[in-house]
Structure 1
């Protein structure tokens, strides 16, 4: 509101200064006719004053209106960012990722445009009212014609606005679909290339972009008609005033100076009248954008409550999911095996309170996570999904996250086996002497998948939450590094509750408790060495073994170990045959 009032004040100074110029010209013309030097000097002084007011008003009107635009767009983006953080992973389950991108980029710009246009429109509207009143007082005969004609000009295009708005909405819908398609295509480009579907999706985007072009042309035609009307009607009003003014001048009812002043006023008033067309366009284009933004902002977490429970009391104890029967005892390292990776991801999110189903809330120490404020729930339980994101900045900034303070950066990086990552960051930096000051590119693109995964794991470890849920934290690293990570995480998280979703035997063998979830229910609980021999479904997931490969002798165990070792070693093409054989010897000795 403060910005709008400033824009109104500076806009009035600008528009009224511009609108006063015709009166000054009229005084000057009449002074020449009357051969009055004093009146001519007065007209010159008034002209200088109006020009100064015009320059100052235009300068600060532009500054304040653009500030209003940027402020409105930035605040909408901030609110959207808070909502995104509040919803977490539930957002992309309810809204397409491309739509979120469209709302947070193009839509906020259009909303800001309307706020900026409104700043100018209010000043223009008040100026027109003031000038019309002044003309009626200055020259009633001509002023009444102008006072009646200008409102007609302002509302003449109103019948066309609904059609223009519908076409703008249709164009915005098509553009939104094209943006969503482009975003989803870029996000899955690697997969599309792998299955040969790149050209198919590119053809879809070409068709979508052509639909956007056709919709934009139809919308532009309607706005061209509105612009033509905005030019035609003021011209007709000007002709009418000149014709009537000449008639009155012949009769001696108006002076030449008054006729020039009224004529010039109409010419000048076409300038503020343009802002009526601008506000109409801004409204038409920003309305669907505002509707989309409001749709995202209206989303709520399924588990949102009134926050009646005291947020300062963070519960502790066993983590239990009644929907599946999964129990993670407090202070223990629990591994969860789930044959469906997507189901594992959904279960990991549910354990963090992000997507709990109604009627089956996850319990922490007997307290439903749904009843906790979001900040308290995230303080108690931290979930790292299988595709963590690294933001650009220094490593120190990456690890600058809310933490307990009990675990330092060195300990977290060491547990996540990030020695080679630190060396790579330092080598790729031009001026950093400390790896913590080395910069990470956007999404860590300069690092390998395994390096990014280990940095994300270190970031999770340094927070030291009461409950840490990891979804496939070592899927992109080689087997030897994976074994060291498993040992490091277990030692660092000693006494803390840790839940790891994985099918890696190396992680499972170091877990204190292993749970098999099959078709949404817990079907077996034990330790890895027991389950791999006693539970066929567990063995099928962990060793990739089919029923035909299962044999009732010890060979099955060694075959499972062989398959597991080869499978894990194959993750990293750099693993040598010597390393594979060494790992097999270790597994045989432990068996």
Structure 2
């Protein structure tokens, strides 16, 4: 695989059982590139290591006044220099290719896993950790995979030089052959401590990245509550912890580097002292002594790769462990795609874990007192089974037995905090769709007229709203505007089943009422499930389900449940004891009505919209004000 051939058509299925197994999987998948780097590494290192022998032959030829051997030594020097240059060039090329292709493979499998898990990923792993894995960790993993072939070439070169020295000059060669392994293992006792410090540093760096990512994601909220300084102080503290950990780790690696310089120097002193003694006795020639001396000097170069592979493994091991953790996450129990090729299922959506039933072709509203429980249930309806392995059924077919693309064609889940990527509005709507709903219908149903006007005004030269640009995550828009654009994107796909988790939590009550009517009209005949506690949405649902403590507690319509079910009323109206008493008085005093506009229904909607109206009327507002506001909402809807 060359860099120009990236991305991989199929990056493969990673072995995510552990960090070392993941690294071994990467190595096996790059065996061709590793062997190529190893071959060029041997050419390079052997050419460098052969230079001292050539110099030794040349010196001895001068001493012996042999022109033939001097010419031979010159030819060997030329050959070794050419091998050094060519080997170094292609080794670097092969090493960089291995590094980039390994990193690209990791990024592809991570991207595939992210697409597979969807919004469930950040519920299981912190968003900052995902960022750390897909950026810095990918680089560290690629470094180790790339460094392995160079280390292997260096190790083979050291062995070859030791054997050559023993054959060339046994008396000095034995000393070098015994001393070099000692040099190689001299730093081994320090490696565990250095590895622990490197792991600690990476852990601190990962936490700082998570904190920074979460702070940036919530920057708008932090500014609203004046919490910038608090989180800035937290990040300063986390950053200082990373700095201290990095200094402690650097000290250990500096000590290892110092030993890697000191030990070859001591060996060189020993060899020179012993070689001079042998030369004075006539047992070693001058050229041979120069060759052995130069070989030891040259061997410090390949020996450096022993330190590098230790560092690369120390830094890549926690990175590989984090990557394996993300890659080991599954959206469902693996059934091997037993329904691959089957027709797309249709029918009622049923969750056996809670007993929730969403009849086909109807708008079902789900009320949960716990927002986190609602998020988990919405995730499960999208095909992610519960911890017990229970899968949601669509028309009697388990969703987790469907291939991922078919499952997402059948059921689309819009998360509570949908993400808008940067680009034009046309790019935002460039999603898989049935073709039965166009952009204008979806935008109208989601009440995006003011959003389109804001986008055109903020984009220079964009007359068509579809060509208006959206900034990253839609940060130039308000929370309600982003929410409505995300809703329009979900509506345009026109899935068999659409699951919306609090789709109008950031919009005002007037707009919310119009959105409820628009969604009901556009999704007519389609199965829609809305998780909400808004009376304006609940009142327009065909069926309302109360989920309490993980089970369906009540089923009906909004106006029935708000009277008959206290737990439902407590979630929807957020009534206090005083409000309950006032409600009873108003119901007794007000005129009845069966058409939905009498005092009883109006009060239900008014109290149900209490959380939406509270901001406008305040806690001390009279019941008359609330009822009047609600009547205006219903008339405008």
Q: TM-score when scaled to structure 1?
A: 0.89
Q: Please name the residue that 2:381 is paired with.
A: 351
Q: Please name the residue that 2:399 is paired with.
A: 369
1:103 corresponds to 2:150: no
| CA deviation string 1:204-226 (max 9, x = no partner) | 54444444333333332322222
Q: How far apart are 1:200 and its partner, in Å?
A: 5.2
Q: Please name the residue that 1:54 is paired with.
A: 84
Q: Please name the residue that 1:436 is paired with.
A: 466
| CA deviation string 1:180-220 (max 9, x = no partner) | 44444444455556666655555554444444333333332
Distance 1:212 1:421, change over 3 A: same
| CA deviation string 1:521-544 (max 9, x = no partner) | 434433334444555544444444
Residue among 436, 461, 464 paired with 2:494: 464
| CA deviation string 1:493-528 (max 9, x = no partner) | 221101112233332333222333344343443333
Q: How far apart are 1:153 and its partner, in Å?
A: 1.3
**Distance of 1:370 and 1:429 partners within structure 2:** 42
**Distance of 1:60 and 1:396 partners within structure 2:** 45
**Distance of 2:415 and 2:437 partners within structure 1:** 21
**Distance of 2:332 and 2:482 partners within structure 1:** 32
**Distance of 2:465 and 2:88 partners within structure 1:** 51
Distance 1:11 1:454, change over 3 A: same
Q: Please name the residue that 1:137 is paired with.
A: 167
Secondary structure of 1:498's aligned partner: strand
Distance 1:105 1:588, change over 3 A: closer
Contact 2:510–2:636 (CA under 8 A) maintained in structure 1:
no
Contact 1:332–1:496 (CA under 8 A) maintained in structure 2:
yes
Secondary structure of 1:462's aligned partner: helix
Residue among 280, 303, 315 paired with 1:285: 315
Flag as ranges the 4+ runs of structure 1 deviating above 6 A: 569-573, 580-583
Q: Please name the residue that 2:522 is paired with.
A: 492
Contact 2:33–2:98 (CA under 8 A) maintained in structure 1:
yes
Q: Please name the residue that 1:215 is paired with.
A: 245
Q: Please name the residue that 1:507 is paired with.
A: 537
Secondary structure of 1:469's aligned partner: strand
Contact 1:533–1:557 (CA under 8 A) maintained in structure 2:
no
Distance 1:97 1:589, change over 3 A: closer
Secondary structure of 1:309's aligned partner: coil
**Distance of 1:572 and 1:420 partners within structure 2:** 21
Q: Please name the residue that 1:321 is paired with.
A: 351
Contact 1:477–1:571 (CA under 8 A) maintained in structure 2:
no
Residue among 581, 584, 587 paired with 2:634: 587
Secondary structure of 1:525's aligned partner: strand
Q: How far apart are 1:146 and its partner, in Å?
A: 2.0
Q: Kindly report which structure 2 residues correspond to 1:127-526, keeping only aligned pairs within 5 A, or say none.
A: 127-189=157-219, 191=221, 201-301=231-331, 303-310=333-340, 312-358=342-388, 360-430=390-460, 432=462, 434-526=464-556
Q: How far apart are 1:439 and its partner, in Å?
A: 2.9
Q: How far apart are 1:169 and its partner, in Å?
A: 2.5
Secondary structure of 1:475's aligned partner: coil
Q: How far apart are 1:267 and its partner, in Å?
A: 0.7
Q: How far apart are 1:108 and its partner, in Å?
A: 2.1
| CA deviation string 1:135-194 (max 9, x = no partner) | 233333322322222222112222222222233233333333444444444444555566
Secondary structure of 1:48's aligned partner: helix
* Mean Cα deviation higher: 453-462 or 423-432: 423-432
**Distance of 2:543 and 2:527 partners within structure 1:** 11
* Mean Cα deviation higher: 538-547 or 312-321: 538-547
Secondary structure of 2:335's aligned partner: coil
**Distance of 1:505 and 1:127 partners within structure 2:** 77
Distance 1:449 1:145, change over 3 A: same
Q: How far apart are 1:383 and its partner, in Å?
A: 0.8
Secondary structure of 1:550's aligned partner: helix
Q: Please name the residue that 1:550 is paired with.
A: 583
Q: Please name the residue that 1:12 is paired with.
A: 42
Secondary structure of 1:486's aligned partner: helix
Q: Please name the residue that 1:79 is paired with.
A: 109
Q: Alignment length, in residue pairs? A: 586
Q: Please name the residue that 2:8 is paired with.
A: none
* Mean Cα deviation higher: 138-147 or 90-99: 90-99
**Distance of 1:466 and 1:91 partners within structure 2:** 24
**Distance of 2:492 and 2:409 partners within structure 1:** 13
Q: Please name the residue that 1:124 is paired with.
A: 154
Q: TM-score when scaled to structure 2?
A: 0.83
| CA deviation string 1:461-486 (max 9, x = no partner) | 22221110001112222333333322
Contact 2:446–2:515 (CA under 8 A) maintained in structure 1:
yes
Contact 2:45–2:153 (CA under 8 A) maintained in structure 1:
yes
Q: How far apart are 1:272 and its partner, in Å?
A: 0.7
| CA deviation string 1:406-432 (max 9, x = no partner) | 333333233323333333333333455
* Mean Cα deviation higher: 10-19 or 558-567: 558-567
Contact 1:545–1:560 (CA under 8 A) maintained in structure 2:
no
Contact 1:477–1:572 (CA under 8 A) maintained in structure 2:
no
Q: How far apart are 1:234 and its partner, in Å?
A: 0.7
| CA deviation string 1:264-312 (max 9, x = no partner) | 1111111111000111111122222222222232233454434333453
Distance 1:241 1:269, change over 3 A: same
Contact 2:61–2:69 (CA under 8 A) maintained in structure 1:
yes
Distance 1:568 1:170, change over 3 A: closer
Distance 1:540 1:157, change over 3 A: closer
Contact 1:302–1:358 (CA under 8 A) maintained in structure 2:
no
